[in-house]
A and B are shown apart, each in its own frame.
Chain A
Amino acid sequence: MSAAPTPTSSSLEPLIEFRGISKTYGQGQAAFLALSGIHLGIRQGEFLAIMGPSGSGKSTAMNILGCLDAPSEGEFLFQGVHVERLGRNQRALLRRHYLGFVFQGFNLLARTSAQENVELPLLYRGESALKRHTAAREALARVGLSGWERHTPAELSGGQQQRVAIARAIVTQPLVLLADEPTGNLDSHRSHEIMELLVQLNREQGITVLMVTHEPDMASYASRIVHFVDGEIASDTEQEVRTCS
């Protein structure tokens, strides 16, 4: 099996860099420009919130940032590696080794215990059963779900499911955690719990967090807010980090 492309970075360079990224959906008459020439640098350790109205290209940008999709134009550097030049499997290896995902719909495997869900990324990394077991237990403990290992998603509340998803995203100790509307399906109380968890991971483990949200309340946890409008960046502001309660 081929190894993931090895990034060669110096700490001065941004961890992630968009250079004139455009994304066009469809072709000819039906072509739609979802992102037009985005420039964006993200440093290690940042907690970035992406905001903007519906259809402004937030998810499109996240998919490219998460190496799930390739841009139509422009350069996308991840630790100095030109991701736009990589193929499908190479991008999969980048995701496997450096990225963690949290989705709006939780996206856990149904009828599968929390433990097995969290072990999944380790399985693809080829870790031993023992390593998988302990790492998954640790990750679940970190999101406050000790004792819930044997429960399946159907037996967990929405907030707990999202915690399992976060445990799954961090079990590999990724460089970057990507979360597209992670609190979109949760009530306000649970949402704040999840945000505090993300802040904690960002601070204590130095995980770079990229999050899409349309709720200013959630965005206030971030250290930097980027506003998208019509596929372009309308504003990019750093802010005082909100302290956890």
Chain B
Amino acid sequence: MFINAILLALREIRRNLMRSFLTILGIVIGVAAVITMVTLGNGATRMVGEQIASLGSNLLILRPGQRMGPAAFGAPNFRLADAEAIRAQVSALKAVAPMVSSGAPLVAGNNNWSSTVTGATNDYFVAGNWKIAAGRTFSEDEQHAGRAVCVIGATIQSKLFGHQNPVGAELRVKNFSCRIVGLLTSKGQGAMGMDQDDVVVMPLRTAQRRLTGNPQDVSVILLSMRDDAAPEQIMPQIRKLMRERRKIADNDDDNFNLMDTRQIAEILSGTIGTITTLLGAVAAVSLLVGGIGIMNIMLVSVTERTREIGIRLAIGALEHEVLLQFLIEAVALSAFGGIVGILFALVSCLGLSALMNMPFEFQPGINLISFAFSALIGVLFGYMPARRAARLDPIEALRHE
């Protein structure tokens, strides 16, 4: 009986291939959209996590201004002495890297490029988890005397030097010439198009003198904690020290902020998670609309096939047999739509993640859920038309034109 109903339903789908295809289109799009959204969203979350880890493990960022974001408006910069004080008074720190940065045009030979130049001590390479691919970091003398030397990232090398070894070459930064002493190991494409390798680092003193023009101010201090350090102990210490040094009254707010990169990672992946959920929900609505499409076409098909239903009833089909046939047709259609949707999603996920430089990982969970959901939609939206078909009066149905 059940097998018969399946047989009848499949025959009917095959008989009306074009209509069947149009019927499942909504489901195909809905399923593909849901899976693509969720897969890409999860990929993005993972990628952000990886990249923040690549920034440096156990990294704290100390910046002037009240909250995270670019605006440090009105809040005074840190002084070099602040970094020294932290180094002297806070234990469990692996590296304290005061830094300044400034956008600057770069020229080497006939090539030019524009990038952000960072002035920092060697601690910067420790805090930022940078490895030297060729050459070296700064010498004591270079740092102390503020010599015109620099270490460049992989992007700068490829933009200005192609495949040549840049170490030892001269790089013109803004209005002075700088000798390249080291090349950093590539960290790869960053989150949301941010390129971490697009970087030029020179000794802090050099940058302060020649780029920012202020020999005492630093704009950011990177702090790398030891592996066994507890941020919840270290962070209040640093905060207290900074409040003292910046002479903030007890009832005033901080005019600087201290962030744990892990915290940033959490905030970012939280945001991406919300966006993923939202997009997934929108896509789920389209899946629902696809279900309504199935109901619509099944209803039309019941009207269109009234005579056929009449024939079946006259021949001796029972109500529940006709019901089952139409229900199975709807479920088979929507389940098939689900499968096609999954294939579409696979293709679009592969394409989009390649386009956005994101890792792609097949997620069986969301695929299974989407498939089950599409079949469920078949049951829900197929039931009404199926019941209508089953309840037809055979005489009326036979007379139907």
Contact = CB atoms under 8 A, between A and B. Distances in A.
B8 A123 contact: yes
Nearest to B394: A68
A107 B307 contact: yes
B15 interface: yes
A182 to B, nearest CB: 14
Given A123-B4, A126-B4, A101 B319 contact: no
Contacts of A150: none
A108 B394 CA distance: 14
Interface in A100-142: 101, 103, 105, 107-112, 116, 120-121, 123-126
B315 A120 contact: yes
Contact of B321 (A99, A105, A124): A124
A147 B1 CA distance: 30
Assign chain A's interface to a size class.
20 to 34
Interface stretch (A49-57, A88-96, A219-227): A88-96
A220 B106 CA distance: 109
A89 B319 contact: yes
A97 interface: yes
A3 interface: no
B234 interface: no
Nearest to A112: B15
A111 B1 CA distance: 23
B266 interface: no
A109 B312 CA distance: 9
Main secondary structure of the interface of B (DSSP, over half): helix
A95 B311 contact: no
Given A68-B395, A124-B321, A126-B1, A93 B316 contact: yes
B85 to A, nearest CB: 87
A202 interface: no
Given A63-B395, A107-B311, A109-B308, A121 B316 contact: yes
Interface in B279-326: 307-308, 310-319, 321
A124 B308 contact: no
A107 B398 contact: yes
Contacts of A97: 316
Interface in B1-59: 1, 4, 7-8, 11, 15-16
Contacts, number: 63
Contact of B315 (A88, A96, A105, A112): A96
A101 B317 CA distance: 13
A125 B310 CA distance: 17
Nearest to B314: A101
A123 B398 contact: no
A58 to B, nearest CB: 14
A168 to B, nearest CB: 8
B300 to A, nearest CB: 16
B315 A121 contact: yes
Interface in B105-159: none
A12 interface: no
A92 B14 CA distance: 27
A112 B7 CA distance: 14
Interface in B361-401: 394-395, 398
A159 to B, nearest CB: 19
A69 B310 CA distance: 13
B309 to A, nearest CB: 11
Contact of B314 (A1, A68, A105, A109): A68
Interface in A1-23: 1
A124 B315 contact: yes
Contacts of A111: 15-16
A-B complex: 4 closest residue pairs judged by Cβ atoms: A96-B316, A95-B316, A121-B315, A111-B15
19 contacts: A69-B395, A92-B318, A93-B318, A95-B314, A95-B315, A95-B316, A97-B316, A99-B316, A103-B314, A103-B398, A107-B307, A109-B311, A111-B15, A111-B16, A112-B15, A120-B312, A120-B315, A121-B315, A124-B4
Interface of A: 1, 63, 66, 68-69, 88-89, 92-93, 95-97, 99, 101, 103, 105, 107-112, 116, 120-121, 123-126, 168
Interface of B: 1, 4, 7-8, 11, 15-16, 307-308, 310-319, 321, 394-395, 398
Given A95-B316, A99-B316, A124-B316, 18 more contacts: A63-B395, A68-B314, A68-B394, A92-B316, A92-B319, A96-B317, A101-B314, A105-B398, A107-B307, A108-B311, A109-B311, A112-B11, A116-B11, A120-B311, A120-B312, A120-B315, A124-B4, A124-B317
